[in-house]
Amino acid sequence: MKLILIGFMGSGKSTIADALSHKLAIEHHDLDQLIEKQSGFKIPAYFEQFGEAQFREFEHQTLIDALELDGIVSTGGGTPVQDANFDLLVQHPTPTVFLNATDETVLKRLLKDDVESRPLFQELGATGLIELKHARQPKYEQLADIIIDVNDKTPAQIVDEIVNQL
Ligand code: S3P
């Protein structure tokens, strides 16, 4: 079984993909983790060392490889909206689940998180980040086979909703 999980930073992709992989007894491949493993750099260090454009190229190659694997692929927030990735995902037969979070949910979670682990949050600040979120929203929606509103729900509830819609 294959599944792709998309959504903005802080929408819970990694957590939900982990929980879902346990529930369905399938593997979980987290794109950011694959990038970190294969490049030898943490994401913020990669951005700092090579810049975003090179990160996007690395991300694209990693996505191509990850789509060959069975199980759940959780993407980075920016992965599906890059033109080359968008085209790839549109054509890909694997069901895509979009975790849809409000601006408030995203900001609340990211501010609680380690801000430094998100280079774009550091670069854009809260207002810029939310503008980016709004700009990306139509592409997430276009790619989604299933849209789950995640606000105020527990991971178990979200996982159940996804499973019920598969
Ligand atoms: C990014 C999101 C991050 C990571 C990188 C860029 C983005 O992943 O890929 O910092 O462009 O939204 P998460 O969505 O898992 O934080």
pLDDT in tens, 111-141: 887 677 888 988 899 999 999 999 999 999 9
Residue 56 has pLDDT above 90, yes or no: yes
What separation in Å is there between the alpha carbon of 8 and the centre of ligand 1?
8
118 lines ligand 1 (CB under 6 A): yes
Dihedral sign, CA of 160, 165, 78, 110?
negative
User: Could you give the percent of the chain with pLDDT greater than 70?
Assistant: 99
Average pLDDT over residues 13-20: 96
Q: Domains in the chain, please, with CATH?
A: 2-165 (3.40.50.300)
What separation in Å is there between the alpha carbon of 103 and the centre of ligand 1?
16
CB-based contacts of 148: which residues, under 8 Å, 6+ apart?
Answer: 97, 98, 99, 100, 158, 161, 162, 165
More confident residue, 1 or 64: 64
Integer angstrom CA distances of residue 94 from 40, 49, 132, 134, 154: 29, 33, 26, 25, 25
9 lines ligand 1 (CB under 6 A): yes
Residue nearest to atom 15 of ligand 1 (CA): 76
